[in-house]
Amino acid sequence: MARKAGATLTEVTYMGRIMVKVGAAALVLLMVGRITLNTAISIWKAMHPEPPPPPTVGFGTLPRLRFPDRVDIEKPNNYILETANASFPDFGDRAKVFFMPQSTLGLLGDENAKKIAAIYGYVFEPEIRNVRQYRWTKSTPLNSTLQVDIQTLSYSLITDFLSRPELLTDPKLPDNFEAVTTVKQFFNKVEKEADDIATASGEILYRKSLGNELAEAVSYSDADFIEVDLNRYPIDGIYRMFTPEGYKGTIHAVLTGALTGQDGIVLFENNYHKVDYDQVHTYPLRTPGEAWQILKSGEGYIASYEGEGRAVIRTVKLGYYDDFEEQAYLQPIYVFEGDDNFIGYVSALDPTYVQARASTGR
């Protein structure tokens, strides 16, 4: 019986080629499979994203917002929602809350108040109105009064500009940019580290003198005075500040062009209080729909309304409430705006994380 010979060179070469082809096919299959698997995983993750971590709620239960009682504004008796598509924007499920340091009535209050007065040219001893309120007066360039809260160092400067017809003969009002710059410089004489005001754009209104009141002017050329309102730069560049009087700034000023430089500021109110932006936590939001029901029930705060009976709401925003008085935290609100200069607020936070007890009308 003949012995079987080993594989020939041709057979080895053939088998080698087969193995190379199989290996190449396996490699391609592996690469395609991996790409397909990774793509499928990416698609699945995109369709099923991991839920974000829960809100931090690191400040614990927050105090309720302290809205003032507005006896000068009659609330609407009916609310109509006429937003785009009769729906609400999606603001997400959470928002930031910031800590605001509180002042105390200390030994340096008297000294600090007098420093503010000296900066603005009030050099005589003040009239002490009460334990917190000091008042100074002077007569140049206009009769004026400066009143300072020696605890919070909020202050107001008021002149008799409305009884000065000489200011109306040739106003030469500054342009918008110059007006805002002048007000910021006036403010920075006292408060030099308010970066959230330094970056604010400011808002302008043109005003006309009607007797002892200011009325809205139809244009710059028709105006006797310029009104400037400064609020903090919006949170995340999106969510702007609202005060107890709507768009009125925590820094509010009226300027004339009849006096030069900072003498042209004939009214100035500073209700700015610092925010510690490094101390921040996130809190759950109630939905805009829930806030809408609260507003309709008459429980919202009405910052502005010039109509009668029915309020037609055109827009809903998320903003932040910046009180003229000190508050412990800068908190988000839903802002409802509509016809007849209507502006209404409802706290945006989930009530689970807000103190339950509320004062009447708040």
Q: What is the DSSP string of 195-206?
A: HHHHT---EEEE
What would the pLDDT profile of 244-293 be if each residue is shown by its tens digit?
999 999 999 999 999 998 999 999 999 999 999 999 999 999 999 999 99
Does 115 lie in the same domain as 207? yes
Residue 17 lies in a domain: no
Do 141 and 83 sit in the same domain of this protein?
Answer: no
CATH number for 314: 2.40.128
In-domain check, residue 193: yes
In sequence order, which residues have a C-beta less than 8 Å from that of residue 121 and are 6 or more positions away? 138
Quote the number of domains for the chain: 2
* Full-model pTM: 0.85
Q: Select from 223, 248, 272 the last residue of a domain.
A: 272
* Cis peptide bond N-terminal to 141, omega within 30: yes
Residues 119-137 pLDDT 10s: 999 999 999 999 999 999 9
| Tens digit of each residue's pLDDT (9 = 90 or more) over 297-338 | 999 999 999 998 899 999 999 999 999 999 999 999 999 999
pLDDT at residue 177 is higher than 80 = yes
Read off the pLDDT band of 4 (50, 70, 90).
low
- Average pLDDT (195-203) is 94
Residue 302 falls inside a structural domain: yes
Which tens digit of pLDDT belongs to each residue from 20-43? 777 777 777 888 778 887 777 677
Looking at the structure, do residues 283 and 267 belong to the same domain, yes or no? no
Q: What is the pLDDT of residue 360?
A: 40
Pair 135, 123: CB distance under 8 Å? no
**Res 362 pLDDT > 50:** no
- My answer on whether 268 and 318 are in the same domain is no
- Has residue 65 been placed in a domain? no
Whether residues 216 and 292 share a domain: the answer is no
Asked which of 272, 294, 309 is the last residue of a domain, the reply is 272
Question: Which residue range is the domain that position 158 belongs to?
Answer: 109-151+153-272
Residue 153, pLDDT > 90, answer yes
Q: What span, in angstroms and rounded, lies between the C-alpha atoms of 288 and 279?
A: 26
pLDDT of residue 119: 96
* Residue 124 resides in a domain: yes
Q: Mean pLDDT in the chain? A: 91
Contact 40, 32 (CB under 8 A): no
Contact indicator for 247, 203 with CB cutoff of 8 Å: yes
Give the pLDDT mean for 342-353: 97
Sign of the torsion formed by the C-alpha atoms of 166, 167, 171 and 172: positive
How sure is the predictor about 3, in pLDDT bands with cuts at 50, 70 and 90?
low
Residues 117 and 261 in one domain: yes
Residue 89 has pLDDT above 80, yes or no: yes
At 155, list the tokens: 């202050």
Buried b (16+ CB within 10 A) or exposed e, 20-54: eeeeeeeeeeeeeeeeeeeeeeeeeeeeeeeeeee
Residue 359 has pLDDT above 70, yes or no: no
Buried b (16+ CB within 10 A) or exposed e, 107-143: eebeeebbebbeebebeeebeeeeeebbebebeeebe
Residue 338 lies in a domain: yes
**Lowest-confidence region among 61-75, 147-161, 262-276:** 61-75
Question: What letter does residue 232 receive in the DSSP assignment?
Answer: P
